[in-house]
Amino acid sequence: MSDLPKFVEINEEGPREGFQFEKGAIATSRKVELIDALSATGLRQIQVASFVNPKNVPGCADADEVVARFSRKPGIRYTALWLNAKGFERALATGRLDLQGSISLTASETFLKRNQNRDFAQNLEAQREIMALHKRHGVTVERASIMAAFGCNFEGDVPISRVLGLIDDILALAAENDLSIKTLSLADTMAWATPLSIKRMIGAVREHNPELRLGLHLHDTRGMGIANALAGLEMGVDLFDAAVAGLGGCPFAAHKGAAGNVCTEDLVFMLHEMGVETGVDLPRLIDAAELAENIVGHPLPGSIKVGGPLDQLRAPHH
Amino acid sequence: MSDLPKFVEINEEGPREGFQFEKGAIATSRKVELIDALSATGLRQIQVASFVNPKNVPGCADADEVVARFSRKPGIRYTALWLNAKGFERALATGRLDLQGSISLTASETFLKRNQNRDFAQNLEAQREIMALHKRHGVTVERASIMAAFGCNFEGDVPISRVLGLIDDILALAAENDLSIKTLSLADTMAWATPLSIKRMIGAVREHNPELRLGLHLHDTRGMGIANALAGLEMGVDLFDAAVAGLGGCPFAAHKGAAGNVCTEDLVFMLHEMGVETGVDLPRLIDAAELAENIVGHPLPGSIKVGGPLDQLRAPHH
């Protein structure tokens, strides 16, 4: 059918990415409702909460309660985000999550300072501690991510060489702990990537580290989300973060709006139409997107929930 | 820099495509204001009006007046759309347009009947008459388009073989009149295309008719507009229709919403960021997009006017 990957794995991040960005408080029960709706779509990984400092991200203060209340469905990995020991311990204490250790570097020091109040050296040290902490608790660390990998609203373009250097740092950290990083996620946190820069970056990282599986975390702030996903696909990337209805965005990224992640159902639509499987039931996912819109109480950016999928229009003609 | 085309030609269709789709009446003076704003952006071709039956498309009833009142700027081709002799004569009578003859076939007979009340045979005959009419008035016909080339909400997928057959019809019609079609535009009128179907179609048409320059007319109804443009670019397509702010959509296409054309400023952003020139001043184009939004009185779909371009964020760091 094509030379694209046969199957693409999607990490749904809407429940975590989405609600931290909303201005008003979202009721815990409604967050749980969305997670449960997403569990019925065929998605195999859902990031359900962010265990970060409630002072910095008040919308995530109820993370423990959200995790206590959603219904676990077999075959789905329910993950969460944390940035330090305290967050990790909160996630661990829930006893209801599929803990995946991961370390995270950031390609822009200015953004790192604003987002996490650390410089490059402090962040490397913090990741070293997180890795050791995970190890003590028997949680494997096989994943790493690099935020702002394509550019930064505060610093401008990020050179590929800097990203390659950060990968070296990540692999050195892992080696210190006899761990092996298998998956690297490149995050276009502030939507600087274009299809061309995606292809160049993926090509350079593949050349530098052919052993790593690469994933993309894309934001649609400048309308390039789906085109950037396509560029990744064409380079063989088969792992994408996405957010239902295009929920989300980072409150520290200095955007004036439309800062959401690439929209899960639009991405799934494109993949299915191009013969790439995802295991997702698109109509159910669109239902979940409509629920997300109902929960936040304002239109969300996804297109397929408005334009409609094609299968129902095809059916009568077959 | 890349193997993409070095320069892409954009036909701005916002003033024509956009306002026919709006529910309320748009004042003639405001349509003129948008055309004049677009003339200041570096765009080289602007479709300013549609000379169609005002009974069918009331929003275009003032086409003659719009054309009489906008300010012509040297170096820009101001074009218009017409579907029959009466429309052509109205366009000719303005004396202020850069008339480009063109013939238009449609790949879905059901859609053709709804849109123009003709079957395939009647439409071919109508195009024969239009071609002869143009010839009598000394207007060259070097362009042709195929609507609904990728699929139809009423008929489903369109096989590539049907499009190739229509191209044969177009070229035979031209040959009857000793005319030579140089440019063929493939229109994804109802947003059925995906990057993969774009690449397949362009590949097949190039194989069938290597002598034709190909253009794409894309709609963003299902969120694939920019990704589809990218797919076209990667196949060497260097001619795109687009609409400022993503204005537009066809009132006969049975969409429930978000039916606009691919957004000019988002396309220009992607092209410039990938090193492809367009001759367009992006900040001025964004100003025109904001004007379009002000004119219609509701948010329009483009992303860059919200997310902001990157050059201003880069500047302090150089």
Which residues are CB-contacts of A75 (< 8 A; sequence separation ≥ 6)? A44
User: Cα separation of A82 and A122, whole Å?
Assistant: 17
Portion 51-110 of A in contact with B at CB < 8 A? none
> Residues of B with CB below 8 A from A198's CB?
none
CA quadruple B122, B128, B131, B133: dihedral, nearest 10: -80
Task: Answer yes or no: are the C-beta atoms of B249 and B17 closer than 8 Å.
Answer: yes
> Residues of B with CB below 8 A from A192's CB?
310
User: Cα separation of B263 and A120, whole Å?
Assistant: 39
Which entry of B60, B152, B250, B263 is annotated as an active-site residue?
A: B250
Let me know if B250 is a catalytic residue: yes
Please say if the pLDDT value at position B205 is more than 50.
yes
* Long-range own/partner contacts, residues B80-83 (CB < 8 A, 24 or more apart): B80/B16, B80/B47, B80/B48, B80/B49, B80/B50, B80/B51, B81/B16, B81/B47, B81/B49, B81/B50, B81/B51, B81/B52, B82/B50, B82/B51, B82/B52, B83/B52, B83/B116
| Number of Cβ within a 10 Å radius of residue B275 | 12
Q: A25-39, A214-228, A290-304, B238-252 — which is least confidently predicted?
A: B238-252
Task: Answer yes or no: are the C-beta atoms of B252 and B23 closer than 8 Å.
Answer: no
Q: Where are the domains of chain A?
A: 9-317
User: Tens of pLDDT along A235-266?
Assistant: 999 999 999 999 985 444 444 444 689 999 99
User: Cα separation of A280 and B165, whole Å?
Assistant: 37
CB distance from A263 to chain B under 8 Å? yes
**Nearest residue of A to residue B259, measured between CA atoms:** A307
User: How near does any CA of chain B get to the CA of A12, in Å?
Assistant: 19
Cα dist from B31 to A124, A274, B51, B287, whole Å: 56, 39, 15, 15
Which residues are CB-contacts of A18 (< 8 A; sequence separation ≥ 6)? A243, A244, A245, A247, A248, A260, A292, A296
Q: Which of B155, B194, B258 sits opposite A306 (nearest CB)?
A: B258
Q: A65-79, B21-35, B241-255 — which is least confidently predicted?
A: B241-255
> Residues of B with CB below 8 A from A256's CB?
306-308
Mean pLDDT of B212-234: 97
| Number of Cβ within a 10 Å radius of residue A159 | 10
Q: How many residues does chain B have?
A: 318
Which residues are CB-contacts of B245 (< 8 A; sequence separation ≥ 6)? B14, B18, B260, B263, B264, B265, B288, B289, B290, B292, B293, B300, B301, B302, B305
C-alpha closest to that of B28 among B61, B52, B56, B1: B61
Portion 175-234 of B in contact with A at CB < 8 A? 191-192, 194-197, 220-224, 226-227, 229-231
A9-317 belongs to CATH 3.20.20.70: yes
- Type and span of the H or E element at B239: strand B239-242
> Residues of B with CB below 8 A from A218's CB?
none
Please say if the pLDDT value at position A12 is more than 60.
yes
**Nearest residue of B to residue A152, measured between CA atoms:** B313
> Residues of B with CB below 8 A from A157's CB?
314
CB distance from A113 to chain B under 8 Å? no
Q: Does A303 contact B221 at a Cβ distance shorter than 8 Å?
A: yes
Q: Which of B153, B231, B309 sits opposite A313 (nearest CB)?
A: B153
pLDDT at position A312 is 87
> Residues of A with CB below 8 A from B198's CB?
none
User: Cα separation of A40 and A244, whole Å?
Assistant: 13
Please say if the pLDDT value at position A154 is more than 70.
yes
User: Cα separation of B177 and B135, whole Å?
Assistant: 8
Please say if the pLDDT value at position B21 is more than 80.
no
C-alpha closest to that of A143 among A213, A88, A192: A213
SS3 content of chain B, % helix, strand, coil (to 5): 45, 20, 35
- Provide ipTM, 2 decimals: 0.94
Q: Choose the mutation target among B2, B4, B303 for the interface with A, i.e. most A CBs under 10 Å.
A: B303
User: How near does any CA of chain A get to the CA of B306, in Å?
Assistant: 6
What's the pLDDT band for B258 if we cut at 50, 70, 90?
Answer: very low
Task: Answer yes or no: are the C-beta atoms of B145 and B187 closer than 8 Å.
Answer: yes
Average pLDDT taken over every residue of chain A: 92
Q: Choose the mutation target among B274, B313, B314, B317 for the interface with A, i.e. most A CBs under 10 Å.
A: B313
DSSP-derived secondary structure for A24-55: SPPPHHHHHHHHHHHHTTT-SEEEEEEE--TT
Q: Does A307 contact B151 at a Cβ distance shorter than 8 Å?
A: no
> Residues of B with CB below 8 A from A255's CB?
307
CB distance from A298 to chain B under 8 Å? no
Highest mean pLDDT among A43-47, A218-222, A259-263, B174-178: A43-47
For residues A13 and A56, which has the higher predicted lDDT (pLDDT)?
A13
Q: Does A273 contact B194 at a Cβ distance shorter than 8 Å?
A: yes
pLDDT at position B251 is 45
Q: Which of A2, A4, A226 sits opposite B226 (nearest CB)?
A: A226
Residue with tokens 């143009």: B134
Please say if the pLDDT value at position B127 is more than 50.
yes
Residue A154 token pair:
């505060």
Task: Answer yes or no: are the C-beta atoms of A141 and A183 closer than 8 Å.
Answer: no
pLDDT at position A253 is 45
Cα dist from A122 to A26, A119, A253, whole Å: 33, 5, 20
Residue B234 token pair:
């990667």
Mean pLDDT of A205-217: 98
User: Cα separation of A79 and A11, whole Å?
Assistant: 9
Which residues are CB-contacts of B122 (< 8 A; sequence separation ≥ 6)? none
Phi/psi of residue A90, nearest 5 degrees: -65, -45
**Could you tell me whether strands A9-12 and A101-106 are parallel, antiparallel, or unpaired per DSSP bridges?**
unpaired
What's the pLDDT band for B18 if we cut at 50, 70, 90?
Answer: confident
pLDDT at position A57 is 83
Please say if the pLDDT value at position A317 is more than 60.
no
**Nearest residue of B to residue A221, measured between CA atoms:** B307
First to last CA, chain B: 20
CB distance from A236 to chain B under 8 Å? no
User: Tens of pLDDT along A25-45?
Assistant: 899 999 999 999 999 999 999
3-class DSSP state for residue B136?
helix
Task: Answer yes or no: are the C-beta atoms of A184 and B268 closer than 8 Å.
Answer: no
User: Tens of pLDDT along B80-107?
Assistant: 999 888 999 999 999 999 998 999 999 9
pLDDT above 70 as % of chain A: 94
For residues B270 and B317, which has the higher predicted lDDT (pLDDT)?
B270
Which residues are CB-contacts of B138 (< 8 A; sequence separation ≥ 6)? none
Q: Does B303 contact A220 at a Cβ distance shorter than 8 Å?
A: yes
> Residues of A with CB below 8 A from B226's CB?
223-224, 226-227
Q: Does B227 contact A230 at a Cβ distance shorter than 8 Å?
A: yes
pLDDT at position A24 is 73
Q: Does B223 contact A222 at a Cβ distance shorter than 8 Å?
A: no
DSSP H stretches of helix in chain A? 19, 28-39, 63-69, 85-94, 109-116, 120-136, 160-176, 195-208, 225-234, 264-273, 282-296, 304-307, 311-314
Which residues are CB-contacts of A51 (< 8 A; sequence separation ≥ 6)? A60, A63, A64, A80, A81, A82, A86, A87, A88, A90, A91
Q: Which of A194, A229, A270 sits opposite B273 (nearest CB)?
A: A194
Q: Choose the mutation target among A155, A266, A273 for the interface with B, i.e. most B CBs under 10 Å.
A: A273
C-alpha closest to that of B305 among B262, B245, B261: B245
Please say if the pLDDT value at position B315 is more than 90.
no
pTM of the model: 0.95
Which entry of A60, A152, A250, A263 is annotated as an active-site residue?
A: A250
Q: A47-51, B115-119, B246-250, B274-278 — which is least confidently predicted?
A: B246-250
CB distance from B283 to chain A under 8 Å? no
Residue with tokens 């006899």: A178
pLDDT at position A106 is 97
Burial of residue A191, with CB atoms counted within 10 A of its CB: 0-12 exposed, 13-18 middle, 19 or more buried: buried
User: Tens of pLDDT along B138-152?
Assistant: 999 999 999 999 999
Please say if the pLDDT value at position A316 is more than 70.
no
Mean pLDDT of A72-86: 94
Select B1-84+243-250+259-318's CATH number: 3.90.1170.40, 3.20.20.70, 1.10.3720.10, 3.40.50.300: 3.20.20.70
Please say if the pLDDT value at position A64 is more than 60.
yes
Q: Does B304 contact A273 at a Cβ distance shorter than 8 Å?
A: no
User: Tens of pLDDT along A109-144?
Assistant: 999 999 889 999 999 999 999 999 999 999 999 999
Portion 127-166 of B in contact with A at CB < 8 A? 151, 153-157
Please say if the pLDDT value at position A162 is more than 70.
yes
Q: Does A256 contact B307 at a Cβ distance shorter than 8 Å?
A: yes
User: Cα separation of B273 and B1, whole Å?
Assistant: 11
CB distance from A8 to chain B under 8 Å? no
Please say if the pLDDT value at position A200 is more than 60.
yes
Please say if the pLDDT value at position B229 is more than 90.
yes
**Could you tell me whether strands A77-82 and A45-51 are parallel, antiparallel, or unpaired per DSSP bridges?**
parallel
User: Tens of pLDDT along B29-39?
Assistant: 999 999 999 99
User: Cα separation of A166 and A161, whole Å?
Assistant: 9
pLDDT at position B183 is 98
Residue A233 token pair:
């696909």
Q: Choose the mutation target among B306, B312, B317, B318 for the interface with A, i.e. most A CBs under 10 Å.
A: B306
User: Cα separation of B130 and B11, whole Å?
Assistant: 22
What's the pLDDT band for A1 if we cut at 50, 70, 90?
Answer: low
Please say if the pLDDT value at position A284 is more than 80.
yes
What's the pLDDT band for B317 if we cut at 50, 70, 90?
Answer: low
| Cβ contacts from A onto B, under 8 A | 134
